[in-house]
Amino acid sequence: MSEQRNRYRGSTERPFLTLDFGVADGSRLPLTLLADTGCPFGLIVGTATFHRLICGPAASMSSNFGINMPGGWFRLFMPETGLVELVRAYASDIVERAVQADDPSFVGLVGLPIVRLGEYGGNVDEFWFRYPPA
């Protein structure tokens, strides 16, 4: 079982995960993402990152983050942990700016549909994610 443990980060100490995604050229792009277990969207990143990682179209979505966020499929690609999945992602520069205001290393947010692929939790010091779930 692979586990990622991260001390909270940012001006208001937020949980985060660093996940790798497949790029069309065969490389991997690691993204540091604010973990929001209350978010119903798997992944929201800025428009530039979205266009770099999209491997297929998906329906757009309207939310409190914006009207008609473009949707697409990304390849979550971490074979060393066994975590290789197609995940739905959305583009929102509003979200990207909001998470970067808290910590410039965040490029978006990862929500419940992705963190539920494994086990997750936290305590006063850190947030953790395990895959595969027990």
Q: Is the pLDDT of residue 64 over 90?
A: no
**Count of CB atoms within 10 A of residue 126's CB?**
13
Smallest Cα–Cα separation from 119: which of 106, 100, 132? Answer: 132
Contact 130, 3 (CB under 8 A): yes
**15's tokens:** 């949980």
Q: Is the pLDDT of residue 134 over 80?
A: no
Q: Is the pLDDT of residue 119 over 80?
A: yes
- Looking at per-residue confidence, does 67 or 131 come out higher? 131
Instruction: Say which CATH number the domain at 111 has.
Output: 2.40.70
Residue 51: per-residue pLDDT:
97
Total domains in the fold of the chain? 1
Domain that residue 32 falls in: 2-9+17-131
- What residue type is 24 in one-letter code? A
